[in-house]
Structure formats: C-alpha cells, structure tokens
Structure 1
Amino acid sequence: MSASLASVLAGLGPVAVAVSGGVDSLTLATIAHRTAPEPPLMVHAVSPAVPGEATERVRAEAAREGWDLRVIEAGEFADPAYRDNPVNRCFFCKTNLYGAIRRVTGRPIVSGANLDDLGEYRPGLDAAREHGVRHPFVEASFSKAMVRALARDLGLGAVAELPAAPCLSSRVETGIRIEPETLAFIHAVERLVGENLEVTGAKRAVRCRVRAAGIVVELDSQSLASLPEAARITLGRRIAARAPARLSDAPVSFAPYRTGSAFLTGGAPR
C-alpha cells in the first residue's frame, strides 16, 4: 500500500465503507479492515439494480475477512425522481444510498471512487459531495489500474480481474422508466450472453442496453468479433423470448461496447 493511501485512511478514523461488490469498493474495504486500528463498518445495499452476484461476493469476502457487515435497502425504488430515469439518475440513487447509510451510522462514509471516475459523467459524485462522502483512492491519487494492482497485492486475485460492472439501471436509456422487471431481464441477458463468450476477466464487457429503438447487446471488440452471425441470431431469439411484455416487440441487435452509451443529453449518446 502506498504511503499516501495509508495516510488518508489513518486520518479518517473509524469509517463506514459503501461496498457495492465491485473491485474498487471491495479493495478499499479489505485494505481498510486490515490496516485500521478500529475495524470499519461495511455497508452493502441490495435492490433490483444490484446483481445478486455482487451481494454474494460481498458476503463471501465479509465471511473470509471477518468484516462487520450491514446489508440494507437504499430505497431508491421508492423515489419517483430515480424511477423517472433522468440523465442525472445516479444522483438520486446515491442520495438514497448515502441517506440510508447515514441512518445506520454516524461514521464518515467512504467510497471506492478512483481518479478514472473523475473523467466521466458521474452525478453520483455530486450526491457524495452533498453527504460529505470521502474517496480515499482519489485523495491518494489512485487510478483504476492502481486499484487492481493493490487488489492483487492483497491476495484478491479474482477481485482484481473483475470487469467493470455499473448498476443495472445504467443500461436503460435516459427517459425510459426504471422497472424492476426490466432490470431482471437485463441481468438475465447479460448472464446468457456471457456464458457464450470466450473472453473473461477485466477485458470483457457485456451490456444489455434497453433503448427506445430496441434492445442492444454491446460487447467488447474481441467478444463481438468472435461471435459468429449464426450465434448472434440464435442468441437474439433467446433474448427476445425472455423479454418482458413492454419489450416483447423490441428488435434485438449487437454492437461494439461504448461506455455510458445509455445516457442521452440533448438527444445524443454520452
């Protein structure tokens, strides 16, 4: 661990770590637990937007490391502003999350955000700022690659290779209402497609986008190139068969992966 990260963590005192189940928050939780004089509180929120695998991963790591873990419901699905899916939907998601964590503990809240996140459109960081959330990796100048390297140094080999996995709501095009059944469909599609790909680990990207124009499965370039046309047709039919009623007539297509392509600002993808 770098001296700068050690200094940041030491200066925070007892903290509550918001643990989503991704590489950043799991790595932060692990290093904080192993080095802090007083064990941190880990808080994980469950909702239709959080894949079950993420929750299982958090529970497994908590059992392995001996964390003090609280699993809560953030309550974002009771917030009409979140369900309406504006371009800053993430602001309302994180507002509900941090509010729920604050009701559990008065400790400073820390997140796994890193320097790479600052270069993207992240309205959730505005919510974090309003709630006084600290970002130790940002303060210690850690990039995503550095977080992955730290995870390996900590013996978290499988965690270090996890692909990026934003919440399931990020797959729904701006302005399309967020529905639990839509997110369950998205998750099922991504698992189905992933089972048919040879690419694994951090390099793999599978996103099922729900757009006004239809269902688009975005893949990293290697996966897309390795998926023959016949396989795409077969997968497309299987995907269509799983679609909820509101998407029953939506066409299914495959395309190259683009970060944040479900967000629309002024009618253009962001």
Structure 2
Amino acid sequence: MSCRSRPLDHGNAMTHELADAQLRLEAALRREGPLAIAVSGGVDSMTLAYLAHRVDPKATLMVHAVSAAVPGEATRRVEVYAARWGWTLRLIDAGEFADPDYLRNPVNRCFFCKRNLYGAIAAVARRRIMAGTNLDDLGDYRPGLEAASQHDVRHPYVEAGIDKKGVRALATAHGLDDLAELPAAPCLASRLETGIAVTPLSLRLIEAIETRLKRNHPGHTLRARLRAGGLVVELDHRLDPMAIENALGQEIADMARGFDERRPIRYERYRMGSAFVGRKDGVA
C-alpha cells in the first residue's frame, strides 16, 4: 500500500469539498503557536499528525503514550511514520496504571485515562495540545472529552467540520492508504466489561487473541472482550463466528489458559461499545 504523499485532485465537486475541508483544518492548525499532537496510532490522530507536520514541521511535536493498553502495532505504526516523514516524536508513559480510578474500570474510565494522558503531555510539551476527535465522536458517550476540556485541548477536525469519513478521505487523498483502511481500534482497556479491573495480564491476553485473529483476517473489525460471564470473541458481519470457532477455537482456548484465564469462551457478532454496561453519568 502506498504511503507516498500526493496533492489533492481538484477535478470534481467532491474533491473540491474535501480540499475546502483541508483548508479549514490547516487554518485551525495555524491559529496558535507550537503544537503537541496526541497520537494514538489510529487513522484520526495519525492523519492529523501528518497534516500538522506539513503545515509547520518545526513547531509540531508528536506525543505517543506507550502502555499495556496501547496495542504494540499502534506504537510501531507511529514510529514508522515518524521515521518516514521526519516527525519530532516523544514517547511517554501517561501514568494511568498508577491511577486507582482508572484501574477499577468505571463506566467513565476514559475520563481518567485521558486526564492522565493530557496531564503527561502538558508536563513534557508545554504547548497547545491537539487531539484527533472528529464530528462523529461528539455523538458517542465520550467522557474523555471532559478531560480534554479541563486541559484546554483543541479538536481541529471538529473546528473544521470533518467527520470520520472525511478523515479517511483526507488520508486517501494524500496517499496514506494504510491509514485510510484501518479499522477502528480503541484502546485495549475498552475490551474489559465495566467493573472488571484493568490489569496488564488481561490486556496482554486481549492483544494476543486479536493479533492472532488479524493474522487470518486483516482489515476486519475484531474484538476479544472480557466479561463477567466469560471471554467473548466478537467478529464483524463479514465473518462467520462458527467458522472462526471451528478454525481457531482450540488455539484461542490454549492462549487463554496460558494467561491464567479460565472463563468460558463465546463467539458472537461485533457490537460497538458492548463492554460498557451501567449508567453513563460518571458512575459505574
């Protein structure tokens, strides 16, 4: 897949609209001085980092938090892009695993995660923090946005009126096809049902299972979720849960035993956010 940058094509109405969106985004990126881009490794933050670096490479710092909740492939992707495009990159420990509020995994766990992240970025960067929140994110339950507000984090996609589809279109327009095709990939802690404590051991199990599934089915939405009633492997509509269980069930069961997880294992259709249970008012 090509990662070569190419100019936007102005040949039709749709790409004119996309070009206008990019101009609005660039204006949002220019409104302030030196920037720190919070880069998770997903399509939103990676595309934002790429475009921010094009606007002002000397004044743009990319910051990526490394922890057990961040898939290793996301960290590797950030490092590859930083080397390829000459980004200034800072790897940090956001410190969420020292936060008991985060570890107990309440329904607003994301607030505590982002509070630690933005606090850690502010401590090392001392510049305006920008995040890859897009318009579609505003329609979901996103307690992390409250933490962003507390740290005065800006969301240039939102300011420019760009949704997820627009982000992917921008990535494609610049030849970042590997980013444009990335399935959504929230942090690994999102795979733990509300109230199940966050532990590095559980997150390693989740990552190991999802990595194994992706090896056979790249480009698909795949989740391994730990619930009170067992381990659930969720697969998008293009995959047959029974076929996956027949092909990989024993291997996944062996992996779970190897991580000391002796829960029953089920195979189901993917449901976005299905690990979040309980009230969504900041109380688990």
Same fold (TM over 0.5): yes
1:242 pairs, out of 234, 241, 255, with 255
TM alignment of 1:1-270, pairs within 5 A: 1=19, 2-36=22-56, 38-197=58-217, 200-201=218-219, 204-224=220-240, 229=242, 231-243=244-256, 248-266=261-279
Give secondary structure in 2 for the equivalent of 1:259. Answer: coil
Give secondary structure in 1 for the equivalent of 2:121. Answer: helix
Structure 1: 5+ residue stretches without partners: none
Q: Please give the alpha-carbon distance, in whole angstroms, between the structure 1 residues aligned to 2:46 and 2:189.
A: 21
Q: Please give the alpha-carbon distance, in whole angstroms, between the structure 2 residues aligned to 1:165 and 1:114.
A: 15
Task: Say which is worse superposed, 132-141 or 11-20, in terms of deviation.
Answer: 11-20
Aligned length: 260
Cα RMSD of the aligned pairs, angstroms, is 1.7
Give secondary structure in 1 for the equivalent of 2:69. Answer: coil
C-alpha distance 93-252 of structure 1, shift in aligned 2 (>3 A): same
Larger relative CO (CA 8 A, sep 6+): 1 or 2?
2
Give the superposition deviation at 1:39: 3.0
Q: Please give the alpha-carbon distance, in whole angstroms, between the structure 1 residues aligned to 2:228 and 2:113.
A: 22
Runs of 4+ residues deviating >4 angstroms: 244-247
Q: Please give the alpha-carbon distance, in whole angstroms, between the structure 1 residues aligned to 2:111 and 2:159.
A: 21
Q: Please give the alpha-carbon distance, in whole angstroms, between the structure 1 residues aligned to 2:258 and 2:234.
A: 22
C-alpha distance 10-178 of structure 1, shift in aligned 2 (>3 A): same
Give secondary structure in 1 for the equivalent of 2:272. Answer: coil
| Letter in structure 2 aligned against 1:60 | V
Question: Contact conserved, 1:185 with 1:244, CA < 8 A, in 2?
Answer: no
C-alpha distance 230-59 of structure 1, shift in aligned 2 (>3 A): closer
Give the superposition deviation at 1:230: 5.3
Structure 2: 5+ residue stretches without partners: 1-18
Q: Please give the alpha-carbon distance, in whole angstroms, between the structure 2 residues aligned to 1:123 and 1:266.
A: 12
Give secondary structure in 2 for the equivalent of 1:207. Answer: strand
Question: Contact conserved, 2:235 with 2:270, CA < 8 A, in 1?
Answer: yes
| Letter in structure 2 aligned against 1:79 | D
Give the superposition deviation at 1:35: 1.2
Give the superposition deviation at 1:175: 0.2
Q: Please give the alpha-carbon distance, in whole angstroms, between the structure 2 residues aligned to 1:96 and 1:237.
A: 38
Render the CA deviation track for 1:156-200: whole Å, top value 9, x for unaligned. 111111110000000000000001010000001011122233xx4
| Letter in structure 2 aligned against 1:141 | G
| Letter in structure 2 aligned against 1:70 | R
Give secondary structure in 2 for the equivalent of 1:44. Answer: strand
The percentage of counterpart residues that share the same residue type is 56
| Letter in structure 1 aligned against 2:30 | A
Question: Contact conserved, 2:201 with 2:259, CA < 8 A, in 1?
Answer: no
Question: Contact conserved, 1:240 with 1:248, CA < 8 A, in 2?
Answer: no
Give the superposition deviation at 1:135: 0.4
TM-score with structure 1 setting the length: 0.92
Give secondary structure in 2 for the equivalent of 1:116. Answer: helix
Give the superposition deviation at 1:215: 0.6
| Letter in structure 2 aligned against 1:232 | E
Question: Contact conserved, 1:181 with 1:244, CA < 8 A, in 2?
Answer: no
Render the CA deviation track for 1:240-263: whole Å, top value 9, x for unaligned. 211257863311111111111100
Render the CA deviation track for 1:25-61: whole Å, top value 9, x for unaligned. 0100000001127430110000000011111100100
Give secondary structure in 2 for the equivalent of 1:195. Answer: helix
| Letter in structure 2 aligned against 1:89 | R
